[in-house]
Structure 1
């Protein structure tokens, strides 16, 4: 393994990830053995903490309440020593199969960048779309009408390129850039927090790059439970309130509604038809996901995992900074 060109800290946020975590940590030990690895657990009830504490690649385990992905990442980054110059945010259901020292040397050519993402593959070796453009009304209608998109095509993953944002399962961020942007917005419990961060980095002049030469594997099994889909759309509405005008937000809601209704007529997967009603309700802010998930009675795929909008917890929404 080549020598790291800069001190690397790896942050892994966990919540009941006992089945996935050993593979993730084993891969880190093989490909990033000199990195400082912090696991921030969000109240797991399984053996996640024990697995992390026993693994030789883990330097620190932070156990706490489930404050959400972004807030937990912020805590873990704050805990890193002053010598750590580069931070890798890594999902526990991933497996790195490239040398991170080589990646650090490779990205040095970008200068003062914001984020770097690399090619994502399933554990079967299939390419997985992992970058996109920032949400806009035209993009929402392109997706609603199922128009061909470069970021949803193999052609978008043949070379390095500047992108708006990379998926948060693997994000390499200079610590200075993370601090400059103020870290993650705690108003996002889960979903869209990485898009919001990369939006803020872009406005600070810190570019995001997709690197095709390196790749990692990510568990892409069907995770589209009712709770996750409602929470994802709740986060999308929070993102829109922060970055889009009210009229743009309304147009995006109309485009998304058109998309969900099309799923009744021509669903691509069985789950799409099953989730049409909750997606429509969440798109218009009529239901909200219960957070944290440990408060759910009946499971994350039951209607008890969501509540009507008037019964929300009162957690403040991200402030609109686009106006």
Structure 2
């Protein structure tokens, strides 16, 4: 289905949420979005969840025309699912929202206002916070170039991946923002071809931010917009699965954008480092997952 290019009845924004066994936090996030009065559509696209939550949400909001639920027959990954939802979106602005985010209407309106006020903006993010209100450092960061990663790892002099100091409380330009909340003009998203589907999960947000900047647009962080964000259910219940794709995403981003990847020897060392790190993490992740299963069955 091709969305209309313009319409008086078109929503101000199309909000895209990808679910994959996201649990009760998905229900809470959908309820928060639909509690507002802004003209919007919410496209919930599900990657073959087995928890029944998307279907329960569809039943609970059956009378609300703003909600559409799309069920994929398989887990396509985050980026591919967003791309498929975006192809069916009617709004001229897209908001990619994690299923465990609670986005209030005032925060959404502020993001829309910032996008409108900055003609060169290609992407606007927010500060995502944990349950205690602590900002996630991933909300405001630099490209994870190898030289920066090494600086951060060994505490050397120079520029690291993380940005030192307090999280901004105003609109600032950024290299990268969190993929949990990303607002874009639909035209920019289409110009870039959407998310790179070579990523399955993790690092596709870094990739998109980089391509937005390479295309001549600004990536902005709305430092005065704080959005509560929980830890994803998939990360808790399938930590090895998630970690595998996170490390795979690191390698893809490095190969695409880091000048260091042009050196074959250095690239080989990075490959070994990424996958060696993954293998070191697996035993602890597997053990903690087993403990959670045992605790839930007790």
SS of match in other structure, 2:210 = helix
CA contact (8 A) 1:227 1:300 kept: no
Secondary structure of 2:82's aligned partner: helix
SS where residue 157 of structure 1 aligns? Answer: coil
Give the corresponding residue for 1:13.
18
Correspondence for 1:29 among 8, 31, 34: 34
The yes-or-no answer on 1:87 pairing with 2:94 is yes
Deviation at 1:234, TM superposition (A): 1.0
Q: Could you tell which deviates more after superposition, 152-161 or 23-32?
A: 152-161
Q: Secondary structure at the match of 2:127?
A: strand
* Structure 2 CA distance for partners of 1:150 and 1:185, relative to 1, 3 Å: closer
Give the 3-state SS of the residue equivalent to 2:83 in structure 1. helix
Q: How far apart in 1 are the matches of 2:60 and 2:39?
A: 14
Distance 1:135 1:149, change over 3 A: closer
- Aligned mates of 2:264, 2:153 — CA distance in 1: 15
How big is the shift at 1:61?
Answer: 0.7
Summarize the Cα distance change of 1:253–1:215 in structure 2 as closer, same or farther, 3 Å threshold: farther
What's 1:97 paired with? 104
Does 1:161 pair with 2:172?
yes
Which whole-Å CA distance do the structure 2 matches of 1:122 and 1:248 have between them?
39
Aligned to 1:79, the other structure's residue is in SS state coil
2:202 aligns to what? 191
Deviation of 1:91 (Å): 0.5
**Structure-2 separation of matches of 1:113 and 1:232:** 28
Whether the aligned pair in 2 keeps the contact of 1:241 and 1:249 (CA below 8 Å) is no
Question: Over the residues paired in the alignment, what is the CA RMSD in angstroms?
Answer: 3.2
In structure 2, the residue matched to 1:44 is 49
Q: 1:300 to 1:207 in 2, by over 3 A?
A: farther
Query: Is contact 1:240–1:249 with CA below 8 Å preserved after alignment?
Result: no
Q: C-alpha distance in 1, partners of 2:136/2:180?
A: 12
Q: In the TM superposition, what whole-angstrom CA distance separates every residue of 1:47-104 from its partner, at most 9, and x where no partner exists? A: 12213312436521110121111000000000112xx111000010111135222331
Show structure 2 runs of 5+ residues with no match: 1-9, 291-298
Match for residue 142 of structure 2 among 108, 125, 133: 133
- Against the structure 1 CA distance between its residues 201 and 103, is the aligned structure 2 distance closer, same or farther, given a 3 Å change threshold? closer
Change (3 A) 1:250 1:11: farther
SS of the equivalent of 1:167 reads coil
SS in 1 for 2:121: coil
Partner Cα distance (2:184, 2:254) in 1: 24
Cα deviation, 1:131-161, whole Å, max 9, x if unaligned, reads 2111212211122114685845452423321
Q: Which aligned pairs between 1:259-298 and structure 2 lie closer than 5 A?
A: 276=277, 278-279=279-280
Give the TM-score, by structure 2 length. 0.78
Residue in structure 1 matched with residue 295 of structure 2 by the alignment: none
TM-score, scaled to structure 1: 0.72
1:277-320 alpha-carbon deviations (Å, 9 max, x no partner): 61589xxxxxxxxxxxxxxxx99958xxxxxxxxxxxxxxxxxx
> Alpha-carbon deviations, 1:241-264, whole Å to 9, x = none?
22234346864775798899xxxx
C-alpha displacement at 1:193, in angstroms? 1.0
Contact (CA 8 Å) 1:131, 1:166: kept in 2 or not? Answer: yes
Q: Report the 3-state secondary structure (helix = DSSP H, G, I; strand = E; otherwise coil) of the residue aligned with 1:197.
A: helix
